[in-house]
Amino acid sequence: MFFPLFTAYPFGAGGNAYALYQNIIRNQAKTMDSYQHILLAVDYSEHDNTVAGKARALAEKYQAKLSIVHVLDNIPMPDTTYGTVIPLDKDSGYDLLEAEKAWLMQIGDQLHINQANRWMIWGSPKEEIVRIAEQEQVDLIVVGSHGRQGLALLLGATANSVLHYAKCDVMAIRLLDG
């Protein structure tokens, strides 16, 4: 694109206005046109298929790598500290954990997600989703939003926290209870 207004360098010989314009254009191009890695956060709710379908569609549209994470925070894990990655390829002998792993593997298989891009972590969802996104250099986090009370009414507690702390874009898929 050519803008004659900037060819005269109105802000001095350095062409600061043109450089500013170029930075704006570059940053706009980085938004929805160049997602390279999308992280889908699932919570095993009835709405996961809706959220997963939208994440898969985005990955296909932008030809991006798709990863998936599930953070365990609702089952007892004795002798396990927060932030522990649960190996998906080893039997823990713990039936509830094995059921969670099987479910994550099933979703990953349905979405054709490489096994190396699937994580199950014991911890706080809002912290671990953001940590994995940073660790794996994710461009976009896709998370469902179904909060119904207090400050979480608009987004949901996890989606709200991820939105505020993530260093990448976050897409919160609005989920309607039916």
Identify the CATH number of the domain in which residue 69 sits: 3.40.50.620
User: Where does the pLDDT of residue 28 fall: very low under 50, low under 70, confident under 90, or very high at 90 and above?
Assistant: low
The mean pLDDT value for 98-122 works out to 91
* Distance in angstroms (rounded) separating the CA atoms of residues 127 and 131: 6
Is residue 76 situated within a structural domain?
Answer: yes
Is residue 95 situated within a structural domain?
Answer: yes
Is residue 111 situated within a structural domain?
Answer: yes
Is residue 160 situated within a structural domain?
Answer: yes
Please determine, for residue 88, whether its predicted confidence score (pLDDT) is greater than 50: yes
Task: Please give the tally of structural domains in the chain.
Answer: 1
How much of the chain exceeds pLDDT 70, in percent?
66
User: Where does the pLDDT of residue 64 fall: very low under 50, low under 70, confident under 90, or very high at 90 and above?
Assistant: very high
Compute the mean pLDDT over every residue in the chain, rounded to the nearest whole number: 77
Is residue 18 situated within a structural domain?
Answer: no
68-80 pLDDT per residue, tens:
999 987 766 666 6
**Boundaries of domain holding 103:** 34-174
Please determine, for residue 9, whether its predicted confidence score (pLDDT) is greater than 50: no
Is residue 10 situated within a structural domain?
Answer: no
Burial (CB count <10 Å: 0-12, 13-18, 19+), residue 29: exposed
Give me the amino acid identity at 127.
E
Is residue 78 situated within a structural domain?
Answer: yes
pLDDT of residue 142: 94
pLDDT of residue 36: 96
Which uninterrupted H or E stretch holds 50?
helix 48-62
Q: Do the Cβ atoms of 33 and 63 come closer than 8 Å? A: no
Is residue 16 situated within a structural domain?
Answer: no
Count of beta carbons in the 10 Å neighbourhood of residue 40: 30
